[in-house]
């Protein structure tokens, strides 16, 4: 079978993501014959990715064609699928904003990354309306929740957001000593804010097994386990959220929670372990170091003509959903995936069922739910609703926050922007909030944001 699809990858300089995409394409026979267009403004990184991808497919004898370009229009023109994984300004600009806002009293920083990402997302989606109106847009760059909701409202492009945070249920199974293939799992919510509504082992409710672990083994686990910075799934914070809301938070959800987990490094270490979790100054620095090491390893392979790329990236499935979803849509390989799509009544409000009158989550809000994907499209389905208390205490406040970010971007209303900063638990005065905004707006890399809000 040969698909002969055109796939445009925006932000292809993210080498690890790009190579994972390539190897998944190589082991997916139904997509052989496709043409992949790598697009990135960084020509050096673009060249590395293009060389590695071409060599990878050649080593495996797979019929895939690769092109590179700095022109977004060229990558999108006539595409069947577009994947957007780009981060405007990269981590360097994020770290500069973080450092500046820490000087204004905001521990671990506050950035304008959402506004920068919104601008790019809308630009990509609007270009697609002109150049490939029938294509699917796969959004993997954050913020998936707010960004996909914005694009759904402002454009007619078919958008699906993807994340791998839902795989956190596998960590729960591992810690509990369960065989993951015998676990039935379902989670719903917003991206990075999802809750395990179904957890069964051999068809029986497995939540009692989790409760038993908490009562008999959790304290020993927390006292002896030295978690990797990304291992937050069974942290004290995750279990505390479970006790607060009645359902287990999954994936990136334990990283968020309440402000009380994030007051300072000591608080983070209490709730997330000795490193303080993914978002502490220790954990985040290790993440950036690991990312740079992986990139340097790929640079070495790209520079060594006799090195085999398939040894660095073995030809096995990466576990990411991007390529399997494209295969399901293009070749009718129907499967159920965890996706971010417009609500359309699947997720009700205050414990109401799908489509119930007065639902508090509108249809144009993108929710994370399981969905059946086949040639006819992506069909969200929810078998169990979130309980009333969780909707009131967690979901609706998170929706309000997202709506504020989106409305501020769309209207350019400085009052909404100020309100967002004033609502931050680290804000101690109006003058502090205003000083931070002035400083962030003065950064040259934030010129587009400053113009949108009338700062210059």
Catalytic site includes residue 164: yes
Cis peptide before 143 (omega within 30 of 0): yes
How far apart CA 432 and CA 53 sit, in angstroms, is: 48
Cα 344 to Cα 152, 334, 381, 382, distances in angstroms:
12, 21, 10, 11
How far apart CA 61 and CA 56 sit, in angstroms, is: 9
What is the SS3 assignment for 454? coil
The residue behind tokens 């050649």 is 58
How far apart CA 293 and CA 285 sit, in angstroms, is: 12
Query: Alpha helices of 29-103 — where are they, by DSSP H?
Result: 43-60, 72-76, 90-103
How far apart CA 233 and CA 225 sit, in angstroms, is: 13
Q: Are 116 and 448 within 8 A, CB to CB?
A: yes
- For 127-154, give the DSSP string: HHHHH-TTPEEEE-SSPHHHHHHHHHHH
List the Cα angle 128/130/135 in 5-degree steps. 40
- State whether the Cα torsion 384-387-392-395 is positive or negative: negative
Q: Are 315 and 26 within 8 A, CB to CB?
A: yes
How far apart CA 272 and CA 12 sit, in angstroms, is: 32
Find all residues with CB under 8 Å of 58, minimum gap 6, and list them. none
Among 24, 80, 231, 252, the one annotated catalytic: 252
Dig out the tokens for 391 from the structure.
């909707």
Cα 99 to Cα 36, 106, 366, 412, 448, distances in angstroms:
37, 9, 32, 25, 20
Among 32, 91, 164, 379, the one annotated catalytic: 164
Active site residues: 164, 252
């Amino acid at each position: 079978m040969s698909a002969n699809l055109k796939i445009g990858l925006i932000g292809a300089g993210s080498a690890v993501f790009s190579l994972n995409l390539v190897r998944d394409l190589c082991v997916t026979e139904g997509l052989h014959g496709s043409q992949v267009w790598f697009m990135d403004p960084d020509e050096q990184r673009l060249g590395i990715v293009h060389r590695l991808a071409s060599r990878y497919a050649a080593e495996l004898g797979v019929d895939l064609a690769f092109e590179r370009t700095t022109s977004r229009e060229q990558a999108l023109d006539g595409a069947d699928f577009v994947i957007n994984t780009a981060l405007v300004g990269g981590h360097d600009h994020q770290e500069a904003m973080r450092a500046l806002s820490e000087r204004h009293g905001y521990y671990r920083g506050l950035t304008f990354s959402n506004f920068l990402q919104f601008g790019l997302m809308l630009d990509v989606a609007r270009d697609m309306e002109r150049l490939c109106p029938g294509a699917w847009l796969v959004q993997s760059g954050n913020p998936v929740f707010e960004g996909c909701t914005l694009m759904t409202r402002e454009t007619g492009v078919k958008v699906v957001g993807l994340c791998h945070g839902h795989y956190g249920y596998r960590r729960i199974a591992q810690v509990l000593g369960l065989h993951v293939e015998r676990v039935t799992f379902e989670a719903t919510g917003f991206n990075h804010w999802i809750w395990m509504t179904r957890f069964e082992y051999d068809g029986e409710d497995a939540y009692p097994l989790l409760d038993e672990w908490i009562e008999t083994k959790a304290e020993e686990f927390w006292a002896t386990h030295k978690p990797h910075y990304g291992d937050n799934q069974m942290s004290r914070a995750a279990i505390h959220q479970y006790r607060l809301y009645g359902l287990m938070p999954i994936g990136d959800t334990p990283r968020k929670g309440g402000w009380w987990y994030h007051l300072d490094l000591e608080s983070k270490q209490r709730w997330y372990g000795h490193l303080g979790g993914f978002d502490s100054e220790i954990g985040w620095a290790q993440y950036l170091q690991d990312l740079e090491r992986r990139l340097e390893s790929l640079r070495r392979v790209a520079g060594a003509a006799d090195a085999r790329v398939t040894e660095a990236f073995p030809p096995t499935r990466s576990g990411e959903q991007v390529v399997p979803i494209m295969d399901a849509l293009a070749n009718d390989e129907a499967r159920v995936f965890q996706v971010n799509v417009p609500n359309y009544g699947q997720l009700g409000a205050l414990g109401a069922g799908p489509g119930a009158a007065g639902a508090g989550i509108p249809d144009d809000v993108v929710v994370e739910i399981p969905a059946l994907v086949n040639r006819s499209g992506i069909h969200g389905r929810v078998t169990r609703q979130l309980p009333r208390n969780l909707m009131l205490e967690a979901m609706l406040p998170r929706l309000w926050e997202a709506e504020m970010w989106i409305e501020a971007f769309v209207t350019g209303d400085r009052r909404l922007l100020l309100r967002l900063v004033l609502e931050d638990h680290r804000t101690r005065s109006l003058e502090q909030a205003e000083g931070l905004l002035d400083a962030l707006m003065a950064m040259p890399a934030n010129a587009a944001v400053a113009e949108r809000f009338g700062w210059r």
